[in-house]
Structure formats: C-alpha cells, structure tokens
Amino acid sequence: MIEVRNLYKSYRDRSQQKRYRVFENLSFTIPEGRNVAILGRNGSGKSTLLRLLGGIDVPDRGRIITDKRISWPVGLSGGFQGSLTGRENVKFVARVQGARGPALRRIVDYVESFAEIGDYFDEPVKTYSSGMRGRVAFGLSLAFDFDYYLIDEAMSVGDAHFKKKAKDALKEKIGKSNILLVSHSMSDVSSLCDYVLLVRDGNVTFFDGVKSGIGAYQKT
C-alpha cells in the first residue's frame, strides 16, 4: 500500500518571485497489488506526483507512507558519471545497493546483455548517444528487485526492437512486482496497467478500470 496524506507541493517560477502550487491538501491511497497508470495533460503534475511517490522529490508538507521498496525512475540516466564507463557506473550503483561478489557480477552481466551496446559498455558514458544511455539505465533499473517500478515515458527509448524488449521485460516483472507508469501511450497503459490515477487541477481521480480511466483522460 502507498498512502498520500495531506500533501502540499509547490515550486518557484523562473523569476523566483512567485510559487506555483501543484498539489494542496492531497490525500489518497493506492490499493495493494495494482499496476497504476498516472495520466494527465502536460503540466498537470503527473511526473511530479511520480517523483514524490518514489521519494525523488519531497513535499512542502504532508507525508507519503509506504513499506514498499520503490525504484528510482526506470531509464533515468542523469545520475551517470560521464567519465566512467557504462560497466563502472553499473558497478558503482550495484555496490551502493549492497551487491557484492557473485551478486554484483550477475547485475553487471544482466545490464551488459540487456543494453546491447557491445564494446561501448567499456567506453566512457560521455561518449554515448542518448539512446545508449537510456538502454544502460533501463537495464540497470530492471537488474534489481523492487516492489514498485517507476516508469516515466521510459519505453520511448531506442528503436522498435529495444522498445519491445523493454516492454516484455516489464511484463515479466509484473506479478512479482507492480508499476507506477506515466505515459502518453494508451496502448502501453492498456497492456501494462489495471488502475488509473487521473491528475487534473491539483486533484486525483481514481478509476478501477483502465478503459474508463483512459476515456476520462481523453476528455480532459
């Protein structure tokens, strides 16, 4: 279960003179064992909500309560050190997550195989294309076992072959784990999710059925 209790979140605008309120006194509970799509128009706050649920961002006030292990956003490559190779970055993250010995080697081997970037895996990340960084980051996220995987348009990375591979890998995780998905692809929402949170005007509406949730989103 993930519970959001009396959450407030705002940001300063670019001028730093005003605050833009995203959520005010927001409370809701995500039921156990559901694969959740977070839908909303651009600027509605859906990605902000995803970051808050994952602990990547913090609320101004209020709490997010859970005993679940939640991933960083799947495919996020912004934390890579550019002067290190892909292999070295993966080893670093694996060690931070507590992997040692055979467990660490399994993670590195998995990411190398999943990313399919060949010899570039041992080249500095700063030489990678954005697609290559995304491949390594996606594989790294899936190399660990989480209760929830956060996905923010991550499946837009790569060519058709890699997109299918990424989607199939996520489907394999579902059953043992759950997902929190932000996407503009309704086909991904339909195939991966069974519950919808529609973010609109600072509020969240729940749909215990993907078809009705997509229908409401398309009317916004």
Q: Is residue 139 part of a domain?
A: yes
Question: Are residues 139 and 170 both part of a single domain?
Answer: no
Count how many residues are written for the chain: 220
Kindly report, residue by residue over 175-214, the tens digit of the pLDDT: 899 999 999 899 999 999 999 999 999 999 999 999 999 9
Beta bridge partners of 20: 11
* Residue numbers of the domain that contains 176: 1-69+146-220
Nearest to 140 by CA among 199, 99, 182, 189: 99
CA distance 101 to 96: 13
Question: Are residues 61 and 152 both part of a single domain?
Answer: yes
Q: Is residue 74 part of a domain?
A: no
Question: Are residues 140 and 154 both part of a single domain?
Answer: no
- Per DSSP, the three-state class of 18 is coil
Amino acid 158: pLDDT: 65
Question: Are residues 7 and 60 both part of a single domain?
Answer: yes
Looking at the predicted structure, is the pLDDT value of residue 127 above 80?
A: yes
Question: Are residues 103 and 135 both part of a single domain?
Answer: yes
Kindly report, residue by residue over 5-19, the tens digit of the pLDDT: 999 999 987 777 788
Looking at the predicted structure, is the pLDDT value of residue 124 above 70?
A: yes
Name the domain boundary from 91, 119, 144.
Answer: 144
Kindly report, residue by residue over 51-108, the tens digit of the pLDDT: 999 888 999 999 999 999 999 888 777 789 999 999 999 999 999 999 999 999 999 9
Question: Are residues 152 and 216 both part of a single domain?
Answer: yes
Question: Are residues 125 and 32 both part of a single domain?
Answer: no
Amino acid 28: pLDDT: 96
Q: Give the number of domains in the chain.
A: 2
Q: What is the CATH number of the domain that holds 210?
A: 3.40.50.300
Kindly report, residue by residue over 130-162, the tens digit of the pLDDT: 889 989 999 999 999 999 999 987 666 667 888
Could you tell me the CA-to-CA distances from 48 to 20, 40, 215 in Å, in that order?
13, 11, 22
